[in-house]
Amino acid sequence: MRVRLPQRRLTRWLLLLGGLLVIALGWVGFRVVQTYSDLRTSEELLTQLQGELLSVQDLNPDTQATLTELQDTADSARSAAHDPFFRAAARLPWVGDDLMAARRLADVVGALADQVMPQVVELRSTLSLAAVLPTGHTVDLTPLAGMAPKLDAVAVQVNSLLSQIETISLSDLSDRAAREVSAAHDRLQSARDQLQIGSALVAKLPAILGFDGPRTYLLVFQNNAEARATGGMFGSFAVVTADHGTISLGDPDRSARELPTLDQGLPGYDPALTSFYGDLVARDARYTNLTPDFPTAARSFAEIYQQRTGNTVDGVLATDPVALGYLLGGQSPVDVGNGVWLDSGTAADFFLSGIYAKFGTDAVARETFTASATQVLADKILGGGLGADLASGVRRGLDEHRILAWSAHQDEEQVIAGTSVGGAVANDPGSTEIGVFLNDGSGVKLSYYLHPSLTVTAGDCTGPGVRRVTVQVALQDGSPSSGLTDYVASWDKVPPYVLRTTAVLMVPTNGTFVGATQDGQPAAVTTGVDHGRSVTAVTVDLQPGQASTLTYQLDVPAVGGVVTPTVRFTPLRQAWAVDAAPFAGCP
C-alpha cells in the first residue's frame, strides 16, 4: 500500500491538471470565439452607423443608440482579447500571430467606437446635406463654419489607428486573419482620406461660391443618347455665375456647335490621347470627353470655349438628364412649355428621346425649347423648397458619377480631383480599378437604347501578387427597328439603325492586358495609354435586338489577404448590371 499511494496521488494530480487544462483551453476557445464574434458584430454596426451618418436627412434619433451598442460590443471584444488566458494563448506557435492580430483589431475598434465615432456623430448632428443646398438661388455656408479643423482633428485620430493596424505583418497570418486585417485597414484608410478631403473641400467652398469675388463656370449637359466615356456628348452648355453664394444661370442651352472645331489641337495636349482617341479629342468641344478623365475633358472644353469666345471661366460642371430627374425628386410635375410637363420620372426619357420625336429635324425649335425648359427647371431646383428630396438626388447623382466638377484653380482642383465628383482617372500604384467606357461611333442618338452589363471573375494566380481575371462586357441594342426620326437613327457614318459603340477597357494600374474576344472570336483591338494606364478599344456594331459580348483577360495586382476590385463605367440612360466580387490575394 505504501508503494501504491504516491502513484494514486500522482494520478489524481494528473487528472486534476488535465481537467484544469481542458477548462483553460475551453475558456480560451470561448474568449477567441467571443472576440471574433464581437468584432464581426462591430463591423456590422459600423456599417449601419455609416449609413445613418451619410443619410441626407437630419440625423436619425436612433443613431445614438447604434453608437452605444457599438461601444458595448467593441468593449466586449477588447475585454475578451485582453483576458489573461487569451494573452497566454497568443504566445503559442501557429495560432499566436492570428490571436495577436485579433487583439490589435479589438483595441483599434474599441478606440474607434469610444473616441472617434462620438465626435463624428456630434459633427453630423449639426449638419445635413440639405442644409447647404440652395434656397432662393443662394447657398448659406453658415452651417459649415468651424467644421474644417474639427474634421482635421478626427482625421488625425483615424490615421493614428491606421498606423496601429499597419504594424501587423500580414505574411505571418492565416488567410482568413489576413483578409480581416486588410479589410479593416482599407476601411480606415478610406475614412481618413474622406475626412481629409472633406476638410479641404469645406475650406475651399467660400471661394468656389464667390465669397472672395464673383466666379464664372460652364455648366455642360451630357447627352447620354450619344455615349461618351464620361456619360454623353457635351452637346450644350450654360454660363453659371456664383457671387457671395448666389447662383445665376445665364444663356441656358447654348449648343456646343457654337464652338467651331479648332484647326489645330490644343497646345500641350497629351499626344498619347490623340494617338488613341483621334485628333478631335483635342480640337472639338463635343469630343473632348472621349477620354474618361473628366479633368482633361473639362479643361479642354474650357480652353476651346476661351479660344472661340475670348472668355475665361473658373471651372466646368457637368450633369445629364438622368441626374436632372434625380434632382426633381419629390417635385410635382413642372410645366416647361409647349404642352410638356416634367417630373423625376419623365425628365430623362423626354430629354433623351421624347424631345426628338416632338421636334423632329427642327434643331432651332428644339434648342429654343430646351433653353426655356432648362431655365424653368433650374429655377425650381435652385429656388429651394425641395429639401431632403433634392439632397437625395444630389447624392444619387454623385454616386453614379453623373455630377462632375473641375476647377481652373489648381489648389481647388487638387482637392476636387480626389473625390468622386472630380471624375479623375485613378492611376496610383495600388489602385484595383477596372474601367469600361463607351464612346458612340455612329453620330446618332441610339445609345439611349443600349443595355450594358459587366462581370469580373477571378482566375488563377499567375505570379506573386498577380491574378488572372476575366472581364465580360455585354452590350444589347434595345432600339426599335423602325419609327425613329433620321436625326436619331440615321447618319452617314453607318447604315440606318446601326448602333456603333467603341468599348474602351482601362486596365488597373500595374495590370496587364492579355487578350480579348468578341462573341468567342478573337477581337480586333486597338491599344494605347490614357493617363498612365493601358487602354484597349473594340468597336461593336449592333442592329435592333442584337447583342454582343466582349471578354477580356487581364493580369491584375493581387497583393494582401483580399482584393476588392472597383469598377468604373460610363453612366448611360439604362443602368448597368454589375457583378465584381472580392477575391483572394496571391502569395
CATH number, domain containing residue 545: 2.60.40
Residues 187 and 264 in one domain: no
Query: Is 113 inside a domain boundary?
Result: yes
Q: 240 pairs with which residues across the strands?
A: 217, 249
Distance CA 78, CA 70 (A): 12
Q: Which residues of the chain have pLDDT under 70?
A: 1-34, 54-59, 85, 94, 128-130, 252-253, 385-387
pLDDT at 230: 98
Residues 408 and 431 in one domain: no
Q: What is the DSSP string of 311-333?
A: ---SEEEEE-HHHHHHHTTTPPP
Alpha carbon 366 to its chain centroid, in Å, reads 34
Residues 305 and 432 in one domain: no
Residues 267 and 342 in one domain: yes
pLDDT at 33: 62
Query: Is 18 inside a domain boundary?
Result: no
Residues 233 and 365 in one domain: yes
Residues 185 and 219 in one domain: no
Query: Is 560 inside a domain boundary?
Result: yes
DSSP 8-state code for residue 114? I
What is the grid cell recorded at 511?
Answer: 495590370
Contacts of 147 (CB under 8 A, 6+ apart): 123, 127, 199, 202
Which residue, 316, 363, 323, is CA-closest to 347?
323
pLDDT at 314: 98
Residues 180 and 145 in one domain: yes
Query: Is 323 inside a domain boundary?
Result: yes
Domain end residue (candidates: 145, 172, 206): 206
Residues 250 and 306 in one domain: yes
Which residue, 266, 254, 243, is CA-closest to 219?
254
Query: What H or E segment, with its residue span, contains residue 222?
Result: strand 215-223
Which residue, 470, 493, 575, is CA-closest to 541?
493
Residues 229 and 315 in one domain: yes
Distance CA 186, CA 182 (A): 6
Distance CA 270, CA 388 (A): 42
pLDDT at 8: 58
Q: Which amino acid is at 15?
A: L
Question: Could you tell me if 290 and 230 are in contact, meaning their C-beta atoms sit under 8 angstroms apart?
Answer: no
Query: Is 344 inside a domain boundary?
Result: yes
Q: Are strands 215-223 and 315-319 parallel, antiparallel or unpaired?
A: parallel
Distance CA 503, CA 439 (A): 7
Q: Please report the beta strands in 339-449, taking only residues with DSSP state E, as ranges in sequence order.
A: 340-342, 404-407, 434-440
Query: Is 6 inside a domain boundary?
Result: no
CA-atom Rg of the chain in angstroms: 29
pLDDT at 135: 84
Question: Could you tell me if 213 and 242 are in contact, meaning their C-beta atoms sit under 8 angstroms apart?
Answer: no
pLDDT at 27: 41
pLDDT at 168: 87
Q: What is the DSSP string of 139-167?
A: ---GGGTTHHHHHHHHHHHHHHHHHHHHT
Question: Could you tell me if 473 and 409 are in contact, meaning their C-beta atoms sit under 8 angstroms apart?
Answer: no
Would the CA dihedral through 8, 10, 16, 19 be positive or negative? negative
Residues 387 and 440 in one domain: no
Q: Looking at the 3D structure of the chain, how many domains does it have?
A: 3
Residues 280 and 331 in one domain: yes
Distance CA 200, CA 416 (A): 9
Query: Is 360 inside a domain boundary?
Result: yes
pLDDT at 392: 85
Domain end residue (candidates: 385, 414, 443): 414
Q: Could you tell me what percent of the chain has a pLDDT over 90? A: 53
pLDDT at 380: 87
pLDDT at 40: 83
Domain end residue (candidates: 152, 174, 206): 206
Question: Could you tell me if 84 and 31 are in contact, meaning their C-beta atoms sit under 8 angstroms apart?
Answer: no
pLDDT at 32: 61
The most distant pair of C-alpha atoms in the chain lies apart, rounded to whole Å, by 118
Residues 174 and 237 in one domain: no
pLDDT at 181: 83
Domain assignment of residue 329, given as a range: 215-414
Question: Could you tell me if 537 and 503 are in contact, meaning their C-beta atoms sit under 8 angstroms apart?
Answer: yes
Query: Is 442 inside a domain boundary?
Result: yes
Distance CA 1, CA 545 (A): 97
Which residue, 523, 541, 546, is CA-closest to 476?
546
pLDDT at 7: 59
